[in-house]
Structure 1
Amino acid sequence: MLLMGESINGTRRQVGEAIQARDADFIKQLALDQVNAGARVLDVNGGVAGGNEVDDLLWLIEVVRGVTDTQLMVDSASPEALAAGVEAALANGGATPLINSISGEQSRIDVVIPLVEQHRCPVVGLCLGDEGIPSTAEGRLAVAERLVNLVTAAGLPSEDLWIDPLVLAISADTQAALVSMGTLKLVKERLPVRTTAGLSNVSFGLPNRALLNRTFVAMCAGIGIDGIIVDVRDKQMMATVRAIEALRGEDAYCGGYLKCHRQGLLEARD
Protein backbone atom coordinates (compact mmCIF):
# COMPACT_ATOMS: atom_id res chain seq x y z
CA MET A 1 0.00 0.00 0.00
CA LEU A 2 1.43 3.36 -1.04
CA LEU A 3 1.41 5.76 1.91
CA MET A 4 0.98 9.40 0.94
CA GLY A 5 1.78 11.74 3.82
CA GLU A 6 -0.83 14.48 4.10
CA SER A 7 0.63 16.74 6.77
CA ILE A 8 2.53 19.46 4.84
CA ASN A 9 -0.60 21.44 4.10
CA GLY A 10 -0.95 25.17 4.63
CA THR A 11 -4.58 24.83 5.66
CA ARG A 12 -3.36 23.21 8.89
CA ARG A 13 -2.81 25.90 11.51
CA GLN A 14 0.73 25.03 12.57
CA VAL A 15 1.88 24.45 9.01
CA GLY A 16 0.28 27.69 7.83
CA GLU A 17 2.03 29.60 10.60
CA ALA A 18 5.36 27.96 9.71
CA ILE A 19 4.92 28.93 6.07
CA GLN A 20 4.14 32.53 6.95
CA ALA A 21 7.12 32.71 9.33
CA ARG A 22 9.38 30.85 6.87
CA ASP A 23 10.15 28.38 9.66
CA ALA A 24 12.20 25.94 7.59
CA ASP A 25 13.19 23.81 10.59
CA PHE A 26 9.54 23.03 11.38
CA ILE A 27 8.81 21.99 7.79
CA LYS A 28 12.01 19.94 7.51
CA GLN A 29 11.18 18.04 10.69
CA LEU A 30 7.61 17.45 9.52
CA ALA A 31 8.90 16.03 6.25
CA LEU A 32 11.42 13.76 7.98
CA ASP A 33 8.88 12.59 10.56
CA GLN A 34 6.58 11.44 7.77
CA VAL A 35 9.33 9.73 5.81
CA ASN A 36 10.57 7.97 8.93
CA ALA A 37 7.02 6.84 9.69
CA GLY A 38 6.72 5.18 6.29
CA ALA A 39 5.49 7.80 3.80
CA ARG A 40 6.70 7.14 0.26
CA VAL A 41 5.01 10.27 -1.13
CA LEU A 42 4.77 13.68 0.54
CA ASP A 43 1.86 15.96 -0.31
CA VAL A 44 2.88 19.63 -0.37
CA ASN A 45 0.21 22.32 -0.29
CA GLY A 46 1.07 25.98 0.22
CA GLY A 47 -2.46 27.32 0.48
CA VAL A 48 -2.45 29.83 3.35
CA ALA A 49 -5.18 32.45 3.73
CA GLY A 50 -3.80 35.80 2.67
CA GLY A 51 -0.55 34.32 1.40
CA ASN A 52 1.09 34.19 -2.01
CA GLU A 53 0.47 30.57 -2.93
CA VAL A 54 3.03 30.42 -5.73
CA ASP A 55 5.83 31.76 -3.54
CA ASP A 56 4.73 29.70 -0.55
CA LEU A 57 4.58 26.45 -2.51
CA LEU A 58 7.95 27.02 -4.13
CA TRP A 59 9.47 27.71 -0.71
CA LEU A 60 7.92 24.53 0.70
CA ILE A 61 9.28 22.40 -2.13
CA GLU A 62 12.77 23.87 -1.75
CA VAL A 63 12.76 23.23 2.00
CA VAL A 64 11.44 19.68 1.74
CA ARG A 65 13.86 18.83 -1.06
CA GLY A 66 16.67 20.01 1.21
CA VAL A 67 16.14 17.02 3.54
CA THR A 68 14.62 14.24 1.41
CA ASP A 69 14.31 13.07 -2.18
CA THR A 70 11.00 11.32 -1.40
CA GLN A 71 8.50 11.70 -4.23
CA LEU A 72 6.36 14.81 -3.86
CA MET A 73 2.68 15.30 -4.61
CA VAL A 74 2.09 18.90 -5.71
CA ASP A 75 -1.28 19.93 -4.34
CA SER A 76 -2.99 23.17 -5.32
CA ALA A 77 -6.29 24.49 -6.60
CA SER A 78 -4.42 27.41 -8.17
CA PRO A 79 -3.40 26.83 -11.81
CA GLU A 80 -0.38 29.10 -11.44
CA ALA A 81 0.81 27.49 -8.22
CA LEU A 82 0.28 23.97 -9.57
CA ALA A 83 2.32 24.61 -12.71
CA ALA A 84 5.08 26.38 -10.80
CA GLY A 85 5.15 23.64 -8.18
CA VAL A 86 5.52 20.86 -10.75
CA GLU A 87 8.36 22.72 -12.45
CA ALA A 88 10.08 23.30 -9.11
CA ALA A 89 9.74 19.68 -8.04
CA LEU A 90 11.28 18.53 -11.30
CA ALA A 91 14.08 21.09 -11.07
CA ASN A 92 14.94 20.07 -7.52
CA GLY A 93 15.52 16.43 -8.42
CA GLY A 94 13.96 13.24 -7.14
CA ALA A 95 11.11 11.32 -8.71
CA THR A 96 8.62 12.96 -11.07
CA PRO A 97 5.96 14.50 -8.79
CA LEU A 98 2.37 13.45 -8.59
CA ILE A 99 -0.27 16.08 -9.31
CA ASN A 100 -3.09 16.49 -6.82
CA SER A 101 -5.43 16.62 -8.63
CA ILE A 102 -7.51 16.43 -11.79
CA SER A 103 -11.29 16.01 -11.84
CA GLY A 104 -14.08 15.90 -14.37
CA GLU A 105 -14.49 19.67 -14.06
CA GLN A 106 -13.58 21.31 -17.36
CA SER A 107 -11.70 24.13 -15.68
CA ARG A 108 -9.46 21.59 -13.94
CA ILE A 109 -9.00 19.49 -17.05
CA ASP A 110 -7.81 22.58 -18.93
CA VAL A 111 -5.13 23.17 -16.28
CA VAL A 112 -3.88 19.64 -15.57
CA ILE A 113 -3.89 17.89 -18.94
CA PRO A 114 -1.21 20.20 -20.43
CA LEU A 115 1.03 19.44 -17.43
CA VAL A 116 0.47 15.72 -17.91
CA GLU A 117 1.27 16.02 -21.61
CA GLN A 118 4.44 17.99 -20.94
CA HIS A 119 5.84 16.16 -17.91
CA ARG A 120 4.09 12.76 -17.79
CA CYS A 121 3.31 13.31 -14.11
CA PRO A 122 1.21 10.70 -12.32
CA VAL A 123 -2.02 12.30 -11.22
CA VAL A 124 -4.77 11.84 -8.64
CA GLY A 125 -8.20 11.85 -10.27
CA LEU A 126 -11.23 12.97 -8.27
CA CYS A 127 -14.64 11.54 -9.08
CA LEU A 128 -16.48 14.81 -9.47
CA GLY A 129 -17.55 16.86 -12.46
CA ASP A 130 -19.02 20.23 -13.34
CA GLU A 131 -22.31 19.14 -11.76
CA GLY A 132 -20.63 18.26 -8.47
CA ILE A 133 -20.02 14.92 -6.78
CA PRO A 134 -22.28 12.16 -8.15
CA SER A 135 -24.44 10.59 -5.46
CA THR A 136 -24.01 7.03 -6.74
CA ALA A 137 -21.05 4.73 -7.31
CA GLU A 138 -22.05 4.35 -10.94
CA GLY A 139 -22.03 8.11 -11.43
CA ARG A 140 -18.56 8.40 -9.94
CA LEU A 141 -17.34 5.51 -12.08
CA ALA A 142 -18.47 7.43 -15.18
CA VAL A 143 -16.26 10.36 -14.14
CA ALA A 144 -13.35 7.98 -13.56
CA GLU A 145 -13.82 6.48 -17.02
CA ARG A 146 -13.67 9.93 -18.58
CA LEU A 147 -10.48 10.71 -16.67
CA VAL A 148 -8.86 7.49 -17.93
CA ASN A 149 -9.61 8.51 -21.51
CA LEU A 150 -8.28 12.02 -20.97
CA VAL A 151 -4.96 11.11 -19.36
CA THR A 152 -4.19 8.21 -21.69
CA ALA A 153 -4.88 10.46 -24.68
CA ALA A 154 -2.34 12.85 -23.12
CA GLY A 155 0.26 10.07 -23.12
CA LEU A 156 0.07 8.94 -19.49
CA PRO A 157 -0.10 5.20 -18.78
CA SER A 158 -3.42 4.39 -17.15
CA GLU A 159 -1.67 2.91 -14.10
CA ASP A 160 -0.28 6.38 -13.35
CA LEU A 161 -3.82 7.65 -12.77
CA TRP A 162 -4.77 7.30 -9.11
CA ILE A 163 -8.56 7.43 -8.87
CA ASP A 164 -9.96 8.91 -5.65
CA PRO A 165 -13.60 7.82 -5.20
CA LEU A 166 -14.11 10.77 -2.82
CA VAL A 167 -14.89 10.16 0.81
CA LEU A 168 -17.55 12.26 2.51
CA ALA A 169 -18.56 12.45 6.15
CA ILE A 170 -20.94 9.79 7.43
CA SER A 171 -22.11 12.32 10.02
CA ALA A 172 -23.81 14.19 7.18
CA ASP A 173 -24.78 11.18 5.04
CA THR A 174 -24.94 7.72 6.58
CA GLN A 175 -24.52 6.14 3.13
CA ALA A 176 -21.38 8.12 2.27
CA ALA A 177 -18.86 5.39 3.15
CA LEU A 178 -20.88 2.77 1.29
CA VAL A 179 -20.94 4.89 -1.87
CA SER A 180 -17.18 5.48 -1.65
CA MET A 181 -16.51 1.77 -1.20
CA GLY A 182 -18.93 0.90 -3.98
CA THR A 183 -17.08 3.29 -6.28
CA LEU A 184 -13.75 1.78 -5.26
CA LYS A 185 -15.06 -1.71 -6.02
CA LEU A 186 -16.32 -0.72 -9.48
CA VAL A 187 -13.08 1.08 -10.34
CA LYS A 188 -10.99 -1.92 -9.25
CA GLU A 189 -13.12 -4.27 -11.33
CA ARG A 190 -13.41 -2.23 -14.51
CA LEU A 191 -10.53 0.21 -14.92
CA PRO A 192 -6.76 -0.33 -15.35
CA VAL A 193 -5.86 2.37 -12.83
CA ARG A 194 -4.68 2.60 -9.24
CA THR A 195 -6.73 3.95 -6.36
CA THR A 196 -6.23 6.20 -3.37
CA ALA A 197 -8.31 8.40 -1.06
CA GLY A 198 -8.17 10.82 1.83
CA LEU A 199 -9.99 8.40 4.09
CA SER A 200 -10.08 10.52 7.27
CA ASN A 201 -12.88 12.65 5.83
CA VAL A 202 -15.27 9.81 6.69
CA SER A 203 -15.21 10.60 10.41
CA PHE A 204 -15.59 14.38 10.30
CA GLY A 205 -17.89 15.69 13.02
CA LEU A 206 -17.86 12.50 15.10
CA PRO A 207 -16.12 11.51 18.36
CA ASN A 208 -13.24 9.01 18.43
CA ARG A 209 -12.40 9.74 14.81
CA ALA A 210 -9.27 7.62 14.89
CA LEU A 211 -11.30 4.45 15.47
CA LEU A 212 -13.56 5.18 12.51
CA ASN A 213 -10.60 6.07 10.31
CA ARG A 214 -8.67 2.88 11.09
CA THR A 215 -11.73 0.72 10.56
CA PHE A 216 -12.53 2.39 7.25
CA VAL A 217 -8.95 1.96 6.03
CA ALA A 218 -9.19 -1.75 6.76
CA MET A 219 -12.52 -2.02 4.92
CA CYS A 220 -11.15 -0.22 1.85
CA ALA A 221 -8.03 -2.37 1.97
CA GLY A 222 -10.26 -5.43 1.71
CA ILE A 223 -11.62 -4.02 -1.56
CA GLY A 224 -8.08 -3.48 -2.81
CA ILE A 225 -7.27 0.22 -2.43
CA ASP A 226 -3.70 0.79 -3.63
CA GLY A 227 -2.73 3.83 -1.56
CA ILE A 228 -4.02 6.17 1.11
CA ILE A 229 -3.53 9.86 1.84
CA VAL A 230 -3.06 9.80 5.59
CA ASP A 231 -1.27 11.19 8.63
CA VAL A 232 1.46 8.56 8.82
CA ARG A 233 2.51 9.93 12.23
CA ASP A 234 -0.64 8.35 13.70
CA LYS A 235 0.91 5.27 15.34
CA GLN A 236 -2.35 3.38 15.74
CA MET A 237 -3.21 3.96 12.08
CA MET A 238 0.23 2.74 11.06
CA ALA A 239 -0.15 -0.39 13.18
CA THR A 240 -3.36 -1.12 11.26
CA VAL A 241 -1.58 -0.49 7.95
CA ARG A 242 1.24 -2.89 8.85
CA ALA A 243 -1.32 -5.57 9.68
CA ILE A 244 -3.11 -4.91 6.38
CA GLU A 245 0.13 -5.22 4.41
CA ALA A 246 0.92 -8.55 6.08
CA LEU A 247 -2.58 -9.91 5.45
CA ARG A 248 -2.62 -8.72 1.80
CA GLY A 249 0.67 -10.46 1.03
CA GLU A 250 2.54 -7.17 0.59
CA ASP A 251 5.05 -7.78 3.38
CA ALA A 252 7.58 -10.49 2.48
CA TYR A 253 7.67 -13.11 5.25
CA CYS A 254 5.85 -10.53 7.41
CA GLY A 255 9.22 -8.85 7.94
CA GLY A 256 7.82 -5.35 8.32
CA TYR A 257 5.14 -6.53 10.72
CA LEU A 258 7.66 -8.41 12.85
CA LYS A 259 10.03 -5.45 12.89
CA CYS A 260 7.22 -3.19 14.13
CA HIS A 261 6.32 -5.78 16.77
CA ARG A 262 9.89 -5.89 18.08
CA GLN A 263 9.89 -2.10 18.24
CA GLY A 264 6.64 -2.08 20.21
CA LEU A 265 4.83 -0.14 17.50
CA LEU A 266 1.88 -2.49 17.05
CA GLU A 267 0.59 -1.77 20.56
CA ALA A 268 1.34 1.94 20.29
CA ARG A 269 -0.99 4.48 21.83
CA ASP A 270 -0.91 8.05 20.58
Structure 2
Amino acid sequence: MITTLSGIKAKVDISPEGPTVIIGERINPTGRSKLTAALEQKDWDVIRQEAVLQVEQGATVIDVNVGAAGIDEVALLPQAVEVVSEATGVPICIDTSNPRALEAALKICGGRPLINSTTGEEASMSVILPLAKKYGAAVIGLCQDERGIAHEPELRLEIAQKIVERAKSYGLEDSDVLIDPLVLTVAAETKAGMVTLTTVRMISEKLGLNMTMGTSNVSFGLPNRYLINNNFLAMAIWCGVTAPVVNPGAKELVETLMAADLVMGKDEYASRYLKHYRKTLRQSQS
Protein backbone atom coordinates (compact mmCIF):
# COMPACT_ATOMS: atom_id res chain seq x y z
CA MET A 1 0.00 0.00 0.00
CA ILE A 2 1.62 3.24 -1.16
CA THR A 3 0.18 6.66 -0.39
CA THR A 4 1.82 9.34 -2.51
CA LEU A 5 1.87 12.98 -1.43
CA SER A 6 3.53 15.82 -3.29
CA GLY A 7 4.53 19.41 -2.79
CA ILE A 8 5.49 21.95 -5.40
CA LYS A 9 9.01 20.49 -5.54
CA ALA A 10 9.08 17.14 -3.73
CA LYS A 11 7.16 13.86 -3.73
CA VAL A 12 6.84 11.52 -0.75
CA ASP A 13 5.76 7.88 -0.82
CA ILE A 14 4.35 6.46 2.41
CA SER A 15 4.33 2.68 2.68
CA PRO A 16 4.93 -0.13 5.21
CA GLU A 17 7.97 -1.25 3.24
CA GLY A 18 9.55 2.19 2.86
CA PRO A 19 11.23 4.46 5.40
CA THR A 20 9.06 5.97 8.11
CA VAL A 21 7.93 9.43 7.01
CA ILE A 22 8.25 12.30 9.48
CA ILE A 23 5.35 14.76 9.48
CA GLY A 24 6.60 17.89 11.24
CA GLU A 25 4.16 19.05 13.92
CA ARG A 26 5.46 22.44 15.03
CA ILE A 27 3.36 24.85 12.94
CA ASN A 28 0.56 24.70 15.46
CA PRO A 29 -0.22 27.63 17.79
CA THR A 30 -1.65 25.47 20.58
CA GLY A 31 0.31 26.40 23.69
CA ARG A 32 2.76 28.48 21.67
CA SER A 33 2.24 32.19 22.26
CA LYS A 34 5.03 33.25 19.90
CA LEU A 35 3.47 31.39 16.99
CA THR A 36 0.01 32.69 17.84
CA ALA A 37 1.36 36.25 17.89
CA ALA A 38 3.08 35.71 14.55
CA LEU A 39 -0.18 34.54 12.99
CA GLU A 40 -2.13 37.45 14.47
CA GLN A 41 0.45 39.88 13.05
CA LYS A 42 0.84 37.95 9.80
CA ASP A 43 4.55 37.69 10.49
CA TRP A 44 5.19 35.06 7.85
CA ASP A 45 8.93 35.04 8.45
CA VAL A 46 8.36 33.18 11.73
CA ILE A 47 6.20 30.57 9.98
CA ARG A 48 8.64 30.28 7.09
CA GLN A 49 11.64 29.78 9.37
CA GLU A 50 9.83 27.15 11.43
CA ALA A 51 8.90 25.22 8.31
CA VAL A 52 12.38 25.32 6.78
CA LEU A 53 13.99 24.28 10.06
CA GLN A 54 11.73 21.25 10.37
CA VAL A 55 12.69 20.10 6.88
CA GLU A 56 16.36 20.55 7.74
CA GLN A 57 15.75 18.39 10.82
CA GLY A 58 14.27 15.55 8.77
CA ALA A 59 10.58 16.25 8.17
CA THR A 60 9.43 15.45 4.64
CA VAL A 61 5.82 16.57 5.19
CA ILE A 62 4.82 19.68 7.16
CA ASP A 63 1.59 19.89 9.16
CA VAL A 64 0.06 23.38 9.06
CA ASN A 65 -2.44 24.34 11.77
CA VAL A 66 -3.45 27.94 12.52
CA GLY A 67 -6.32 27.24 14.93
CA ALA A 68 -6.24 29.60 17.90
CA ALA A 69 -8.58 32.03 19.63
CA GLY A 70 -9.01 35.18 17.58
CA ILE A 71 -7.52 33.67 14.41
CA ASP A 72 -9.58 33.80 11.21
CA GLU A 73 -8.76 30.34 9.87
CA VAL A 74 -10.59 30.83 6.59
CA ALA A 75 -8.35 33.79 5.77
CA LEU A 76 -5.08 32.70 7.38
CA LEU A 77 -4.87 28.95 6.73
CA PRO A 78 -4.48 29.26 2.94
CA GLN A 79 -1.91 32.00 3.42
CA ALA A 80 0.08 29.87 5.86
CA VAL A 81 -0.13 26.85 3.56
CA GLU A 82 1.14 28.92 0.64
CA VAL A 83 4.03 30.34 2.69
CA VAL A 84 5.12 26.90 3.91
CA SER A 85 4.73 25.32 0.49
CA GLU A 86 6.82 27.96 -1.26
CA ALA A 87 9.48 27.96 1.47
CA THR A 88 10.00 24.20 1.58
CA GLY A 89 8.55 22.61 -1.55
CA VAL A 90 7.49 19.55 0.48
CA PRO A 91 3.96 18.13 0.80
CA ILE A 92 1.60 19.89 3.20
CA CYS A 93 -0.65 18.31 5.81
CA ILE A 94 -3.58 20.72 6.12
CA ASP A 95 -4.71 20.54 9.74
CA THR A 96 -8.09 22.07 10.58
CA SER A 97 -11.56 21.19 11.83
CA ASN A 98 -13.07 24.08 9.83
CA PRO A 99 -14.38 22.84 6.44
CA ARG A 100 -14.41 26.35 4.94
CA ALA A 101 -10.80 26.93 5.94
CA LEU A 102 -9.90 23.49 4.62
CA GLU A 103 -11.39 24.13 1.19
CA ALA A 104 -9.80 27.58 1.00
CA ALA A 105 -6.41 25.97 1.68
CA LEU A 106 -7.01 23.09 -0.73
CA LYS A 107 -7.80 25.54 -3.53
CA ILE A 108 -4.36 27.14 -3.39
CA CYS A 109 -2.22 24.20 -2.27
CA GLY A 110 0.13 22.96 -4.97
CA GLY A 111 0.81 19.26 -5.32
CA ARG A 112 -1.10 16.58 -3.45
CA PRO A 113 -1.67 17.46 0.21
CA LEU A 114 -2.86 15.41 3.17
CA ILE A 115 -6.03 16.46 4.99
CA ASN A 116 -5.91 16.27 8.79
CA SER A 117 -8.59 14.98 9.33
CA THR A 118 -12.00 13.31 9.32
CA THR A 119 -13.47 11.27 12.13
CA GLY A 120 -15.74 8.27 11.70
CA GLU A 121 -18.74 10.47 12.41
CA GLU A 122 -21.11 10.77 9.47
CA ALA A 123 -21.30 14.54 9.89
CA SER A 124 -17.53 14.73 9.44
CA MET A 125 -17.10 12.14 6.67
CA SER A 126 -19.90 13.61 4.56
CA VAL A 127 -18.08 16.95 4.43
CA ILE A 128 -14.37 16.05 4.46
CA LEU A 129 -14.29 13.02 2.15
CA PRO A 130 -15.95 14.81 -0.81
CA LEU A 131 -13.37 17.60 -0.43
CA ALA A 132 -10.56 15.04 -0.54
CA LYS A 133 -12.00 13.62 -3.76
CA LYS A 134 -12.68 17.03 -5.32
CA TYR A 135 -9.14 18.30 -4.76
CA GLY A 136 -7.27 15.01 -5.16
CA ALA A 137 -5.97 14.96 -1.59
CA ALA A 138 -5.23 12.11 0.77
CA VAL A 139 -6.98 12.16 4.14
CA ILE A 140 -6.36 11.08 7.73
CA GLY A 141 -9.18 9.16 9.41
CA LEU A 142 -9.41 9.27 13.21
CA CYS A 143 -10.63 6.16 15.03
CA GLN A 144 -13.51 7.85 16.79
CA ASP A 145 -17.16 8.28 15.90
CA GLU A 146 -20.44 9.34 17.46
CA ARG A 147 -19.66 7.06 20.41
CA GLY A 148 -16.41 8.89 21.14
CA ILE A 149 -12.99 7.24 21.38
CA ALA A 150 -13.38 3.50 21.80
CA HIS A 151 -11.37 1.74 24.50
CA GLU A 152 -11.29 -1.57 22.63
CA PRO A 153 -8.99 -2.17 19.62
CA GLU A 154 -11.76 -4.09 17.86
CA LEU A 155 -14.04 -1.05 17.91
CA ARG A 156 -11.28 1.24 16.64
CA LEU A 157 -10.67 -1.23 13.81
CA GLU A 158 -14.39 -1.16 13.05
CA ILE A 159 -14.30 2.64 12.81
CA ALA A 160 -11.26 2.51 10.52
CA GLN A 161 -13.11 0.08 8.26
CA LYS A 162 -16.14 2.38 8.23
CA ILE A 163 -14.02 5.37 7.19
CA VAL A 164 -12.42 3.41 4.35
CA GLU A 165 -15.78 2.17 3.08
CA ARG A 166 -17.25 5.67 3.14
CA ALA A 167 -14.15 6.98 1.37
CA LYS A 168 -14.67 4.41 -1.37
CA SER A 169 -18.28 5.52 -1.74
CA TYR A 170 -16.95 8.96 -2.69
CA GLY A 171 -14.51 7.53 -5.23
CA LEU A 172 -11.39 7.42 -3.07
CA GLU A 173 -9.04 4.44 -2.85
CA ASP A 174 -7.66 2.61 0.18
CA SER A 175 -4.30 4.25 -0.49
CA ASP A 176 -5.90 7.69 -0.16
CA VAL A 177 -6.64 7.09 3.53
CA LEU A 178 -4.21 7.13 6.45
CA ILE A 179 -5.65 5.97 9.74
CA ASP A 180 -4.88 7.57 13.10
CA PRO A 181 -5.58 4.94 15.78
CA LEU A 182 -5.47 7.67 18.46
CA VAL A 183 -3.22 7.85 21.50
CA LEU A 184 -4.36 8.50 25.07
CA THR A 185 -2.14 9.12 28.07
CA VAL A 186 -1.02 6.11 30.09
CA ALA A 187 -0.99 8.32 33.19
CA ALA A 188 -4.79 8.29 33.18
CA GLU A 189 -5.44 4.91 31.57
CA THR A 190 -2.91 2.15 32.21
CA LYS A 191 -3.73 0.11 29.09
CA ALA A 192 -3.99 3.10 26.73
CA GLY A 193 -0.65 2.46 25.04
CA MET A 194 -1.37 -1.23 24.49
CA VAL A 195 -4.82 -0.45 23.12
CA THR A 196 -3.26 1.84 20.52
CA LEU A 197 -0.47 -0.58 19.61
CA THR A 198 -2.93 -3.46 19.31
CA THR A 199 -5.15 -1.30 17.11
CA VAL A 200 -2.21 -0.47 14.86
CA ARG A 201 -1.28 -4.13 14.52
CA MET A 202 -4.87 -5.12 13.71
CA ILE A 203 -5.30 -2.38 11.10
CA SER A 204 -1.97 -3.29 9.53
CA GLU A 205 -2.81 -6.99 9.33
CA LYS A 206 -6.49 -6.74 8.35
CA LEU A 207 -6.61 -3.57 6.22
CA GLY A 208 -2.99 -2.97 5.19
CA LEU A 209 -3.42 0.80 5.48
CA ASN A 210 -0.82 3.44 6.15
CA MET A 211 -1.08 4.99 9.58
CA THR A 212 -0.15 8.14 11.44
CA MET A 213 -0.36 9.29 15.05
CA GLY A 214 0.77 12.03 17.39
CA THR A 215 2.96 10.03 19.76
CA SER A 216 3.49 12.60 22.52
CA ASN A 217 -0.02 12.21 23.97
CA VAL A 218 1.01 8.89 25.50
CA SER A 219 3.30 10.56 28.06
CA PHE A 220 1.14 13.54 29.03
CA GLY A 221 1.37 14.31 32.75
CA LEU A 222 4.46 12.20 33.36
CA PRO A 223 8.16 13.03 34.00
CA ASN A 224 10.90 12.19 31.49
CA ARG A 225 8.35 12.25 28.70
CA TYR A 226 10.99 11.75 26.02
CA LEU A 227 11.74 8.23 27.31
CA ILE A 228 8.11 7.20 27.01
CA ASN A 229 7.63 8.93 23.66
CA ASN A 230 10.74 7.39 22.10
CA ASN A 231 9.98 3.85 23.20
CA PHE A 232 6.34 4.14 22.21
CA LEU A 233 7.31 5.45 18.77
CA ALA A 234 9.63 2.51 18.12
CA MET A 235 6.88 0.08 19.15
CA ALA A 236 4.33 1.89 16.98
CA ILE A 237 6.60 1.70 13.93
CA TRP A 238 7.11 -2.01 14.56
CA CYS A 239 3.33 -2.49 14.74
CA GLY A 240 2.68 -0.59 11.50
CA VAL A 241 2.71 3.19 11.88
CA THR A 242 4.26 4.64 8.72
CA ALA A 243 4.01 8.44 9.06
CA PRO A 244 3.92 9.78 12.63
CA VAL A 245 3.29 13.45 13.40
CA VAL A 246 6.25 14.40 15.58
CA ASN A 247 8.71 17.15 16.44
CA PRO A 248 11.74 16.59 14.17
CA GLY A 249 13.73 18.83 16.50
CA ALA A 250 13.53 16.18 19.22
CA LYS A 251 16.94 14.67 18.50
CA GLU A 252 16.55 11.45 20.49
CA LEU A 253 13.12 10.80 19.01
CA VAL A 254 14.38 11.13 15.43
CA GLU A 255 17.35 8.89 16.25
CA THR A 256 14.94 6.33 17.69
CA LEU A 257 12.88 6.46 14.49
CA MET A 258 15.97 5.98 12.34
CA ALA A 259 17.16 3.07 14.48
CA ALA A 260 13.72 1.42 14.37
CA ASP A 261 13.71 1.58 10.57
CA LEU A 262 17.23 0.16 10.47
CA VAL A 263 16.53 -2.91 12.59
CA MET A 264 13.24 -3.52 10.76
CA GLY A 265 15.07 -3.75 7.43
CA LYS A 266 13.63 -0.52 6.04
CA ASP A 267 17.00 1.21 5.61
CA GLU A 268 19.19 -0.52 3.02
CA TYR A 269 22.84 -0.66 4.07
CA ALA A 270 21.97 1.72 6.94
CA SER A 271 22.22 4.59 4.44
CA ARG A 272 19.58 6.82 6.04
CA TYR A 273 20.84 6.12 9.55
CA LEU A 274 24.44 6.92 8.61
CA LYS A 275 23.47 10.01 6.63
CA HIS A 276 21.61 11.36 9.65
CA TYR A 277 24.52 10.49 11.96
CA ARG A 278 27.04 12.32 9.77
CA LYS A 279 24.76 15.34 9.51
CA THR A 280 24.32 15.63 13.28
CA LEU A 281 28.05 15.07 13.81
CA ARG A 282 28.91 17.94 11.46
CA GLN A 283 26.40 20.18 13.21
CA SER A 284 27.88 19.39 16.63
CA GLN A 285 31.38 20.22 15.39
CA SER A 286 30.48 23.49 13.70
**Structure 1 outlier segments of 4+, above 4 Å:** none
**Are positions 1:88 and 2:121 aligned together?**
no
For residue 117 of structure 2, give the secondary structure of its aligned residue in structure 1: strand
Per the alignment, residue 166 of structure 2 pairs with: 150
- Letter matched to residue 94 of structure 2: V
TM-score (norm 2): 0.88
For residue 71 of structure 2, give the secondary structure of its aligned residue in structure 1: coil
For residue 227 of structure 1, give the secondary structure of its aligned residue in structure 2: coil
- Letter matched to residue 242 of structure 1: M
Count how many residue pairs are aligned between Structure 1 and Structure 2. 263
Per the alignment, residue 256 of structure 1 pairs with: 272
Per the alignment, residue 20 of structure 1 pairs with: 40
Identity %: 39
TM-score (norm 1): 0.93
For residue 231 of structure 2, give the secondary structure of its aligned residue in structure 1: helix
Per the alignment, residue 231 of structure 1 pairs with: 247
For residue 26 of structure 1, give the secondary structure of its aligned residue in structure 2: helix
For residue 2 of structure 1, give the secondary structure of its aligned residue in structure 2: coil
Alpha-carbon deviation of 1:191? 0.5
Deviations 1:50-78 (A, max 9, x none): 12111121221122123121100111111
Alpha-carbon deviation of 1:144? 0.4
For residue 162 of structure 1, give the secondary structure of its aligned residue in structure 2: strand
Distance (whole Å) between structure 2 residues aligned to residue 84 and residue 180 of structure 1: 33
Per the alignment, residue 229 of structure 2 pairs with: 213
Distance (whole Å) between structure 2 residues aligned to residue 154 and residue 215 of structure 1: 38
**Are positions 1:103 and 2:114 aligned together?**
no
Higher relative contact order (CA 8 A, sep 6+): 2
Per the alignment, residue 262 of structure 2 pairs with: 246
Alpha-carbon deviation of 1:35? 0.8
1:100–1:124 CA contact under 8 A, matched in 2: yes
- Letter matched to residue 265 of structure 2: G
Unaligned runs of 5+ in 2: 1-19
2:47–2:84 CA contact under 8 A, matched in 1: yes
2:85–2:91 CA contact under 8 A, matched in 1: no
- Letter matched to residue 185 of structure 1: R
User: Which of residues 51, 73, 83 in structure 2 aligns to 1:63?
Assistant: 83
Per the alignment, residue 185 of structure 1 pairs with: 201
For residue 250 of structure 1, give the secondary structure of its aligned residue in structure 2: coil
Per the alignment, residue 27 of structure 2 pairs with: 8
Per the alignment, residue 50 of structure 1 pairs with: 70
Q: What is the aligned-residue RMSD (CA, Å)?
A: 1.5
- Letter matched to residue 175 of structure 2: E
2:23–2:243 CA contact under 8 A, matched in 1: yes
Distance (whole Å) between structure 1 residues aligned to residue 274 and residue 222 of structure 2: 33
User: Which of residues 3, 23, 32 in structure 1 aligns to 2:52?
Assistant: 32
Deviations 1:54-107 (A, max 9, x none): 112122112212312110011111111111111121xxx2x2110000111122
Alpha-carbon deviation of 1:25? 1.2
Alpha-carbon deviation of 1:264? 4.3
Distance (whole Å) between structure 1 residues aligned to residue 231 and residue 69 of structure 2: 33
Alpha-carbon deviation of 1:20? 0.9
**Are positions 1:196 and 2:216 aligned together?**
no
- Letter matched to residue 97 of structure 1: P
Per the alignment, residue 13 of structure 2 pairs with: none
Per the alignment, residue 143 of structure 2 pairs with: 127
**Are positions 1:171 and 2:218 aligned together?**
no
Distance (whole Å) between structure 2 residues aligned to residue 264 and residue 38 of structure 1: 11
Distance (whole Å) between structure 2 residues aligned to residue 160 and residue 15 of structure 1: 31
1:160–1:193 CA contact under 8 A, matched in 2: no
For residue 67 of structure 2, give the secondary structure of its aligned residue in structure 1: coil
1:160–1:194 CA contact under 8 A, matched in 2: no
1:203–1:209 CA contact under 8 A, matched in 2: yes
- Letter matched to residue 148 of structure 1: V
